[in-house]
């Protein structure tokens, strides 16, 4: 996925309108693009072709179901460590070697390494965190979600 803005002019107003509309839940019908096509004044096949182009140029990363990972089974936990700068690369290697580490980000803070553990069973979280703590000799802070507020975000294209 590109982390850069597209060149100016890549998207026209209709493309932007489609991007904004299609972030809303798609109607679960045989012709799920019909409403967005009608709202943008396009024929249904034109709308689908535009969306396909938006995916090709990288304006869309994904079209499909968004899953609630926890509802699928499995356990997730955000973790953080304060890694001494001189040991950063060594610790990255140790942490990333665990398949349970789904993402890992360097952030500007004393707690400078933030990763998400994804395990099949809840007990896997504590076990993996303890293993990482032992291997690195660093404290692993666990930040499990207590409550999620997940409603409003839409990208304004």
Partner 1 sequence: MKLDATDRRLLAATASGLPLTLRPFAEVGTWLGLPEAEVIARFAALQAAGIVRRIAVAPNHYAVGMVANGMSVWDVADEAAEDLGARIGALGFVSHCYLRPRSLPDWPYNLFAMIHGTSRDEVEAKRQQVAAILGPALRASDILYSTRILKKTGMRLVEGG
Using CB under 8 A as the binding rule, the residues of this chain from 82 to 141 that contact partner 1 are: 82, 92, 95-96, 101-111, 113-115, 118, 120, 139, 141
Phi, psi of 31 (to 5 degrees): -120, 75
- Site for partner 1, residues 19 to 78, rule: CB under 8 A: 19, 22-26, 28-33, 44-45, 48, 51-52, 54-55, 57-69, 71-74, 78
Shortest Å, Cβ 118 to partner 1: 6
Shortest Å, Cβ 61 to partner 1: 5
Shortest Å, Cβ 134 to partner 1: 18
155 binding partner 1? (CB under 8 A): yes
Sequence length of the chain is 157
Shortest Å, Cβ 124 to partner 1: 11
In Å, how far are 18, 78, 95 from 126, measured between CA atoms?
Answer: 43, 12, 14
Give the total of residues touching partner 1 (CB under 8 A): 84
Neighbours of 34 (CB within 10 A): 14
Closest C-alpha to 96, from 87, 86, 105: 105
DSSP 122-143: THHHHHHHHHHHHHH-S--EEE
């Amino acid at each position: 996925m590109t982390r850069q803005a597209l060149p100016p002019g890549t998207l026209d107003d209709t493309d932007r309108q489609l991007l904004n509309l299609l972030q809303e839940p798609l109607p679960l019908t045989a012709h799920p693009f019909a409403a967005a096509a009608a709202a943008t004044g396009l024929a249904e096949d034109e709308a689908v072709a535009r969306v396909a182009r938006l995916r090709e140029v990288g304006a869309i990363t994904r079209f499909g179901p968004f899953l609630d990972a926890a509802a699928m089974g499995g356990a997730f936990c955000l973790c953080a460590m304060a890694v001494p700068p001189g040991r950063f690369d060594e610790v990255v290697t140790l942490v990333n070697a665990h398949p349970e580490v789904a993402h890992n980000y360097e952030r500007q803070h004393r707690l400078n390494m933030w990763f998400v553990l994804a395990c099949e069973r809840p007990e896997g979280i504590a076990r993996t965190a303890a293993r990482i703590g032992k291997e690195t000799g660093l404290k692993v802070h666990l930040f499990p979600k207590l409550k999620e507020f997940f409603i409003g975000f839409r990208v304004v294209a």
